[in-house]
Structure 1
Amino acid sequence: MQISYKPLLYFQKRGYHVCQRIADRLGIRAKVVRTSFMYLAFVTLGFGFALYLFLAFWMRVKDLIYTKRTSVFDL
């Protein structure tokens, strides 16, 4: 039973952050975004999951390129 919870906890810690950022951007709750991705994945046979992975990848690339600088001297 412990073996099945480790991957679940890993994806919860790392995967839900994508939904949270999308929800913050849209101004809605993260729970709505998560359930929308789940329904989209079931209805379109995996397209929702592929879209989710693409958005996670895009946000990671954006974070690597655009970093917040707190001061002018952080260049």
Structure 2
Amino acid sequence: MNILYSALLYFQKRGYYVCQRIADRLGIRAKVVRTSFMYLTFVTVGVGFALYLFLAFWMRIKDLIYTKRSSVFDL
């Protein structure tokens, strides 16, 4: 258990250090950078899901409009 806890602390320290350096470079708080990354993650996942739904509905509507007919007598 101690090995997992030390590994967790190591990755948290290194990961937060990246946000700290970005914040120091921009002159803002590190907390703002961290929350911005979290919000950006939620937004990008939401945009991808919305795009997927749009394409699914568009393809379904396209299939309903343009049906493949084998001959002229299928009208």
Q: TM-score, normalised by structure 2?
A: 0.48
Greater fraction helix? 2
Structure number with greater CO (CA < 8 Å, separation at least 6) is: 1
Decide which structure has the larger Cα Rg and report it: 2
